[in-house]
Amino acid sequence: MKLATIIILASAALLTGCKFVATEDKNGAGGGSISPEQQVSEMWDSKVLPYLEAKAGDFKTVSEAARTNVEAAGVTYGNKEKQASSPWTLVVRLTGKIIAANTESRAGSIDVDADGNGTADARVQIGPVMRGTALRDCLDFVSFNQFTNQIDFAQFGKAFNLHVDKTVTSKLPRDQLVGKTVQVLGAYPVVAGSELPLITPAKIELK
């Protein structure tokens, strides 16, 4: 095979690999394409969870590091898109006592006291509706440039939240949360101000 032919074939393979997810059309006739939900499901155990486990730091350590130097904390514990306006999204392990639970809203959440002083240090989303795209944004192997457009990128981010609700948070005993000790593996975006860090979980364990 001629060298020019080899180069052309290799270039085509590389371009094909840049397409991260193919979404179905509005009528569900995707022509063999894979939905964002299926894509997330297929990579969850093999790529997403191992990445989160390896990247995560203790919440108290990470949050203190972010207050001191968010860029340094982000490099160690997080990820962000290359645009200057993109926030760092940090990966954490949070352990603490649930001191409040919002289970009436569809955007349910629990407030967690991580240092034992009786006040909440973080808020963990428990759905079924979850805000943001923290789980997508913390992954260093996912980038906007791998998607056709902003809509596909947004749908892929939403698919992570749907997967977590289906496999993790929907199984929580919502009437027995306050007072429990909780262990969470998840991610949150660093935002300015005094709002509690809003963690989207990938794992939750009650004790």
Q: Any idea what the Cα angle at residue 22 is, between residues 33 and 136, rounded to 5°? A: 135
Q: Which CATH topology does 35-206 take?
A: OB fold (Dihydrolipoamide Acetyltransferase, E2P) (2.40.50)
- Answer whether 201's CB lies under 8 Å from 131's CB: no
Distance CA 116, CA 93 (A): 16
The confidence score (pLDDT) of residue 22 equals 46
Cβ-based neighbours of 149, under 8 Å, separated by 6 or more = none
The confidence score (pLDDT) of residue 6 equals 40
What does the DSSP 8-state code read for residue 187?
Answer: E
pLDDT in tens, the chain (207 residues): 544 444 344 444 433 444 555 444 433 334 447 899 999 999 999 999 999 999 999 999 999 999 999 999 999 999 998 666 789 999 999 999 999 999 999 999 999 999 999 999 999 999 999 999 999 999 999 999 899 999 999 999 999 999 999 999 999 999 889 999 999 999 999 988 889 999 999 999 999
The confidence score (pLDDT) of residue 194 equals 85
The confidence score (pLDDT) of residue 85 equals 76
The confidence score (pLDDT) of residue 17 equals 45
Distance CA 181, CA 7 (A): 57
Residue ranges of domains in the chain: 35-206
